[in-house]
Amino acid sequence: MKFRSDPSAIRGSIAPAITPFTSDGAVDHDSLRALIRFQLESGSHGISLGGSTGEPSSQSVSERIAGMRTAVEEIGDRVPFLPGTGSHKLDETLELTAAAADLGADAALVITPYYARPTQEALYQWYAIVAREFPDLPIVAYNVPSRTAVDIAPETVKRLFTDFENFVGVKETTKDFEHFSRVLHACGRSLLVWSGIELLCLPLLALGGAGFVSAVANLAPGAVARMYELWEEGDFDGARDLHYRLHPLVDLLFVETNPAPAKWVLHQQGRIASPHVRPPLISPTDAGLSKIRALLREGGDLTQQIGATK
């Protein structure tokens, strides 16, 4: 929990790790440890687990907590750890967030409750409960309307940021780039905002964003981290070059539903023991694999840049 007391230090490329499964569907903790080591060796500035890329809705609460424990053991205090602790159920969200706090997470990434389509007042009250329950744990809202069917409004973020000292930021996974600007304009640039949309990661930095939680970091963590570092160093052309070079890998991620394509690539590279995804997801189809292979030929050189920031 080295970074818990200063969440403003949680910046850069926060890699949202997949959850590896064995071929029979169990959580593969050995592969998870190997993936986290790969991220750390490649220069990722932080680790997240249990966001959309980690297939949390297909896991039990106990499985998610066990995954957090494995991640904490592997990370230590080397980089910040921001586990996803949200659910569509409040009791599960509180249980997962309590476990994250006890295990030493630096902040909790709490998704907007999905399926129910709560109002903005309901969203405010949801996050208020979480923030009050864990006053010493930084809380980050995870806004991903394409998956939850609800969009947390800039005004709601402002209320939470104003009312709760430990509500520190938001991961914005919306393709409405105007929304990013309105959130920062409403709250001020002391609010921490990370992009969860791969092709908006670099543009967000121009608005004062804290960094990104980009699924493409599963495949090219060194390149994604270096893109942030180049921007911070003032090498804007270098950062833009990496942004455009990452395009094929970004497209690869979404040939079929994330994280199935990424898991297939990681398995092919020997980084995980199995490409298994849990239902309702399926492994890439033959047609999908044809596209994935073509995109990997185009952008795969970036997946080899291990330790690019060291």
Q: Which residues are catalytic?
A: 142, 171
- What residues contact residue 14 under an 8 Å CB cut-off, 6+ apart? 44, 45, 46, 47, 48, 80, 82, 194, 211, 212, 213
Query: Measured between alpha carbons, how far is 140 from 108 in angstroms, rounded to an integer?
Result: 6
184: left (phi over 0), alpha (psi -120 to 50) or beta: alpha
Structure tokens given for 7:
């969440």
Q: In sequence order, what E strands does the chain have?
A: 12-17, 46-49, 108-111, 139-143, 167-172, 192-195, 211-212
Query: Measured between alpha carbons, how far is 42 from 71 in angstroms, rounded to an integer?
Result: 16
Query: Is 164 within 8 Å of 131 (Cβ atoms)?
Result: yes
Q: How far apart are the first and last CA of the chain?
A: 24
Write the burial class of residue 173 (CB in 10 Å: 0-12 exposed, 13-18 middle, 19+ buried).
buried
The side-by-side arrangement of strands in the sheet containing 46-49 is 46-49, 12-17, 211-212, 192-195, 167-172, 139-143, 108-111
